[in-house]
Amino acid sequence: GPLLRQLVSYWPPVAASNSSKEVLLLHELELLLEHCRPDALEDSELRELVVEKVTQCFSGDKNFRVAQRALLLFKADGVVSLLRHHQALIVPRVVPRLLAAAASHWNTTVLRMIGNALQVLDEMDPGGFEQALGGERCAEARAAVAKLCP
């Protein structure tokens, strides 16, 4: 908790983008999350802070290296385990941002990684994914996966 909060406090403000620092912080965040207990994100304020920082990193106007590094989090076993543990709370916040990034990002590798991230979120619990998003948004996410991950 305190270590995650401290790490997030070093994040550069959105207006003062610093891609190399963000890539480094994302790497450190992954290392921390890989070793966290599943209840590490029980604090809703901390969970929202972490989700906000990560999702800002793959928005369409971000440097592609930052976006790629953020999307690599969805391949890390420890991070996926945390996502699974908090799926009902995190999926509704992350998926719309992934879909928005898929619609606006220019980098093909980032787009493929967005598709992979959506697929990871769906495959860890398809029923929970659908329940967290609702039918229409779930269908939109699955259509994006089909388009981005042929």
Alpha-carbon distance of 28 to 105, in angstroms, equals 24
Alpha-carbon distance of 110 to 59, in angstroms, equals 10
Q: What is the pLDDT along the chain (150 residues), one digit of tens a residue?
A: 788 999 989 888 876 778 899 999 999 999 999 988 888 888 889 999 999 999 999 886 778 999 999 999 999 999 999 998 998 889 989 999 999 999 998 899 999 999 999 999 999 888 888 888 888 889 999 999 999 987
Q: List the domain range (segments joined by +) for residue 22.
A: 2-148
Q: How many domains does the chain have?
A: 1
pLDDT at 60: 67
- For 130, residues 6+ apart whose C-beta sits below 8 A from its C-beta are 138
Torsion region of 17: left, alpha or beta (phi above 0 gives left; psi -120 to 50 gives alpha): beta
Instruction: Name which of 145, 112, 113 is nearest 129 in CA terms.
Output: 145
